């Protein structure tokens, strides 16, 4: 309703170019954000460490005597018969600590890292826009979640194919699927775990808006992920379990049935969505009112 | 740049602007007025509130009191439309050490959604050229010297044509050659119509490139005006020693001077001292003495102290190395 008098002017402040330039401008910042993330040595070191997990598992199994069924992580005993289980085992092993650790580093660094470098003030003066910057930071962290899980799954598949025979896979439901479909299932599990990590990434982003010291935000995020998993194992806290963001982290077995049961995928996505909204609201409240003094 | 985008008026205007951190007042009710087209030197010792003021002007921190208008628009409400027209160097340069100089500039340029993408590479190249960094464009910032980072920071402020440049201590870490380059850069930008707001604790620097000056001390703006006004306020101060203080004061007032007792009364016989600073116009010292003698004032001592801007600055901000809290 209220007319903006300067809107008629042809100057650079006229809203017309703002409206048209906005969307492609945000893609440019997103591309820049991803390039900063993936040009860091640290990011590649973390991905390499994650890739080492399936390689280590495959090598160890290859070099040792056959694993008796029922010992070690689930699927471990099946690897020597079918290499396609390497990726699944590696994902299972990485969920409790390795993946949350890397996600904690990336998410905890989002705002605090820029504040620590001093680049935050230059991004805001550019101007990036506080809400826009927050959204793009989160989107980049989410891309990392997916990259990290897919890295484990993909390297696992390669290591499995290289070191072991590959054949049809018997699912938990007793059905058998061929190798191609089992790779698809691996990717599905990777996607499930990536979704699982989105809540943690949002928590890391929120913590990151409270400090100028990235290591502090990273540590706090990782500690929270451990606390959540410990609480999830205490029977005394059973009432709390369905609300913990790590509650469905290991419930991807449903994706190994025929037909696929999407129940846990949906419940997990809903829970993570709740955490994204809550942590996002905290991050928004804090970051839009924050004095940037670094 | 067209100037139709905002209403005319000062490039920067604050009204009772204040910022408190807990109980400490970092900026205390300042009224800045930076005319368009001026090169405004924002002077003050370390810790006097210059950088905090700049953060408030750019919307990085929120004021606890008062109002800010930049380029005619209210801050922080108008930040999104004001900031694209403002280039800034705030509290030293800051860059991603693992990216090259050019990549850093491209990143910060991409942060502004209105910055045209198709001209980005060319604008980055031009900005680097302007600050003499073309040869180091592909080098990682980690390998830059402090002076090179400072130049890169200035290049970032110049990525687009700006109406207002806010440069916080732009010559920090630069060698004499670099300092001269920055001065001539500021002059050429001002000649092109850009308003330049430059903070510094170096008087000589401000004297050489600014048209206007504001002086901060312990969070307060203690003086503001054109360079000439501020100099005039500090120059041609006369010191008069006489036993006939009252008569002398009358004579000086008659000459349009404003005598103020310097206070040191050294016994009844010695009389007292008077000092005065002629506002605006200058009366020749010999005329003052002649007038005094003609009026029968006994002159024991008479001296003219040519206070430099430096003395004026020290008199406004206090002496010594104490960093204002």
Give tens-digit pLDDT for A14-73. Answer: 333 333 445 667 889 999 999 999 999 999 999 999 999 999 999 999 888 766 666 777
A10/B55 touch (CB, cutoff 8 Å), yes or no: no
Residue B46 pLDDT > 80: yes
Interface of B with A (CB under 8 A): 1-6, 55, 58-62, 73, 79-86, 88, 90-99, 106-117, 156
**What pLDDT score was predicted for residue B6?**
46
Residue B236 to residue A116: CA distance in whole angstroms: 49
Look-up of token digits 């200058």? B282
Write out the two tokens for A179: 């190798």
- For residue A6, tell me if it sits in a domain: no
pTM of the model: 0.83
Among A113, A288, A104, A290, smallest CA distance to A203 is for A104
Q: How far is A6 from chain B, CA to nearest CA, in Å? A: 7
**What pLDDT score was predicted for residue B267?**
34
Among A111, A83, A86, A73, smallest CA distance to A204 is for A111
Tens digit of each residue's pLDDT (9 = 90 or more) over A147-160? 999 999 999 999 99
- For residue A13, tell me if it sits in a domain: no
Residue A10 pLDDT > 80: no
More confident residue, A10 or B317: B317
3-state secondary structure of B223: strand
B94/A123 touch (CB, cutoff 8 Å), yes or no: no
For testing the chain A interface, which of B24, B110, B141 should be mutated: the one with the most A CBs within 10 Å? B110
3-state secondary structure of B221: strand
Lowest-pLDDT range of A8-17, A86-95, B112-121: A8-17
- For residue A64, tell me if it sits in a domain: yes
Contact partners, residue B291, CB within 8 Å, separation at least 6: B251, B254, B255
| Contact residues on chain A for B116, CB-CB shorter than 8 A | 21
Residue B280 pLDDT > 70: no
Q: Where exactly does CATH 3.40.50.300 map onto chain B?
A: 12-231
- For residue A3, tell me if it sits in a domain: no
Residue B123 to residue B157: CA distance in whole angstroms: 12
Tally of CB atoms within 10 A around B132: 15
| Contact residues on chain B for A289, CB-CB shorter than 8 A | 62
Length of chain A: 294
- For residue A5, tell me if it sits in a domain: no
Nearest to B79 among A127, A133, A291 (CB): A127
Among A139, A106, A102, smallest CA distance to A207 is for A106
Instruction: Name the percent of chain A lying above pLDDT 90.
Output: 69
Q: Is A104:B80 a contact under the CB 8 Å cutoff?
A: no
- For residue A254, tell me if it sits in a domain: yes
**What number is the ipTM of this complex?**
0.85
Range B198-214 burial, b when 16+ CB lie within 10 A, else e = bbbbebebbbebbebbb
- For residue A223, tell me if it sits in a domain: yes
**What pLDDT score was predicted for residue B8?**
66
For testing the chain A interface, which of B72, B94, B141, B197 should be mutated: the one with the most A CBs within 10 Å? B94
| Residue range B12-231, CATH number | 3.40.50.300
The tally of domains found in chain A comes to 1
**What pLDDT score was predicted for residue A182?**
87
Q: Residue A265: which domain range?
A: 28-289
**B236-306 CATH choice from 3.60.21.10, 3.30.70.100, 3.40.50.300, 3.30.300.30:** 3.30.70.100
Q: Where exactly does CATH 3.30.70.100 map onto chain B?
A: 236-306
- For residue A150, tell me if it sits in a domain: yes
Instruction: Please compute Rg for chain A using Cα positions.
Output: 22
Q: Is B54:B90 a contact under the CB 8 Å cutoff?
A: yes
Looking only at Cα atoms, what is the longest distance across chain A?
80
Residue B277 pLDDT > 60: no
């Amino acid at each position: 309703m209220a007319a903006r008098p300067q809107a008629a002017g042809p100057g650079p402040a006229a809203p017309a170019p703002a409206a048209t330039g906005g969307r492609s401008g945000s893609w440019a910042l997103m591309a820049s954000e991803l390039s900063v993330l993936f040009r860091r040595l640290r990011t590649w070191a973390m991905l390499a460490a994650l890739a080492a997990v399936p390689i280590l598992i495959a090598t160890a199994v290859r070099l040792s005597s056959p694993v008796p069924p029922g010992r070690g992580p689930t699927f471990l005993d099946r690897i020597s018969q079918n290499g396609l289980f390497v990726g699944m085992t590696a994902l299972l092993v990485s969920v409790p600590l390795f993946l949350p650790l890397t996600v904690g580093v990336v998410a905890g660094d989002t705002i605090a890292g820029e504040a620590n470098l001093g680049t935050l003030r230059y991004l805001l003066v550019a101007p990036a826009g506080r809400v826009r910057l927050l959204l793009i930071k989160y989107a980049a962290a989410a891309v990392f979640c997916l990259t990290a899980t897919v890295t484990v799954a993909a390297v696992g598949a390669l290591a499995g194919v290289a070191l072991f025979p590959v054949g049809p896979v018997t699912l938990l439901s007793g059905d058998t699927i061929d190798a191609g479909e089992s790779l698809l299932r691996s990717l599905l599990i990777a996607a499930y775990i990536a979704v699982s990590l989105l809540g943690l990434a949002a928590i890391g982003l929120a913590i990151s808006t409270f400090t100028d010291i990235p290591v502090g935000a990273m540590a706090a995020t990782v500690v929270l992920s451990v606390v959540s998993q410990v609480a999830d194992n205490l029977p005394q806290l059973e009432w709390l379990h369905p609300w913990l963001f790590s509650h469905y982290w290991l419930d991807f077995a449903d994706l190994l049935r025929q037909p696929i049961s999407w129940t846990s995928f949906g419940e997990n996505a809903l829970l993570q969505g709740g955490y994204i909204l809550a942590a996002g609201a905290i991050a928004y409240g804090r970051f839009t009112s924050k004095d940037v003094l670094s | 740049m067209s100037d139709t985008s905002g209403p005319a008026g000062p490039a920067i205007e604050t009204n009772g602007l204040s910022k408190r951190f807990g109980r400490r007042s970092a900026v205390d009710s300042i009224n800045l007025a930076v005319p368009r087209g001026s090169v405004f030197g924002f002077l003050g010792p370390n810790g006097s509130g210059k950088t905090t003021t700049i953060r408030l002007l750019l919307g990085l921190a929120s004021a606890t009191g008062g109002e800010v208008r930049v380029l005619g628009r209210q801050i922080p409400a108008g930040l999104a439309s004001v900031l694209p027209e403002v280039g800034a160097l705030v509290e030293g340069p800051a860059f991603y050490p693992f990216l090259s100089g050019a990549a850093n500039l491209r990143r910060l340029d991409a942060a502004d959604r209105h910055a045209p993408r198709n001209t980005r590479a060319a604008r980055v190249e031009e900005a680097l050229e302007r600050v003499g960094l073309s040869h180091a464009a592909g080098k990682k910032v980690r390998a830059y010297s402090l002076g090179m980072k400072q130049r890169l920071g200035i290049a970032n402020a110049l990525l687009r044509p700006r109406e207002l440049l806010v440069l916080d201590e732009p010559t920090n870490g630069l060698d004499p050659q670099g300092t001269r380059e920055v001065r001539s850069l500021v002059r050429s930008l001002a000649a092109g119509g850009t308003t330049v707001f430059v903070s510094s604790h170096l008087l000589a620097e401000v004297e050489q490139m600014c048209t206007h000056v504001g002086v901060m001390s312990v969070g307060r703006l203690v003086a503001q005006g054109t360079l000439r006004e501020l100099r005039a306020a500090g120059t041609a101060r006369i010191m008069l020693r006489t036993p006939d203080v009252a008569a002398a004061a009358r004579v000086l007032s008659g000459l349009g001077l404003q005598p103020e007792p310097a206070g040191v009364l050294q016994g009844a016989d010695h009389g007292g001292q008077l000092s005065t600073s002629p506002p605006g116009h200058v009366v020749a010292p010999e005329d003052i003495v002649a007038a005094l003698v003609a009026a029968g004032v006994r002159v024991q001592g008479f001296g003219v102290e040519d206070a430099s801007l430096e003395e004026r600055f020290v008199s406004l901000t206090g002496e010594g190395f104490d960093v204002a809290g």
